[in-house]
Chains A and B, each alone.
Chain A
Amino acid sequence: MAFLEQHIHDEPKTFVSKYLISYDHKVIGKQFLFYGIFFLLVGGLMALLIRWTLAYPGVPFPVIGNLLFPHTGGVVPPDTYAMLFTMHGTIMIFFAITPILIGAFGNFCIPLMIGARDMIFPTLNMLSFWFSMASGALLLISLCLPLGAAAGGWTSYPTLSTTLGSPGAGQTLWLLSLFLFGASSTMGAVNYITTVITLRAPGMDYFKMPLTIWGIWLTSILNAIFVPVLGAGLILLTFDRVFGTTFFLAGAAATSGKGDPVLFQHVFWIFGHPEVYILILPAWGIVSDLLSFFSRKPAFGYKMTALSLTAITILSTVVYGHHMYTTQMSPLLTQSFMTLTMLISMPSAVFFANWLGTLWKGSIRFTSPMLFSLGVVFVFGLGGLTGLYLASTSIDLYLHDTYFVVGHFHYTMAASVLLGGFAGTYFWFPKMFGRMMDEKLAKIHFWATMIPLNGIFTGMMMMGWAGMHRRLYNPFIYEFTQNLIPLNKFVTYCAITMGLVQFIFLYNFFKTIFGKNIPQASSNPWEVGTLEWTIPSPAPHYNFKEIPHVKCGPHELGNPNLTDGKDFQYQTEELVKA
Chain B
Amino acid sequence: MLADPLNSPEHELFRETARKFTEQELRPRAREFDEMGRFDKSLFKDMGDLGMLGLRYDPQYGGAGLDWSYTSVLYEEIGRSDNAGVTMGISVHTDMATPSLAEFGSEDLKQEFLVPAIAGEMVSAIAVTEPDAGSDVSGIRTRAIRDGDDWVINGSKIYITNAATADWLCLLAVTDPEAGYGGVSQILVPTDVPGFRYDLLDKIGNWGSDTGQLYFEDVRVPVAHTIGDIGRGFQQQMVQFQDERLVACVSSIAGSLFLWEETRRWAEERVLFGKPLSKMQNTQFKMVELFTQLAAAKELTQACVRKRVSGEDATDLITMAKLFCGRVCRQVADECIQFHGGYGYMKESMAGRAFVDSRLISIGGGSDETMLHYMAKQLGF
Q: Do A and B come from one complex?
A: no
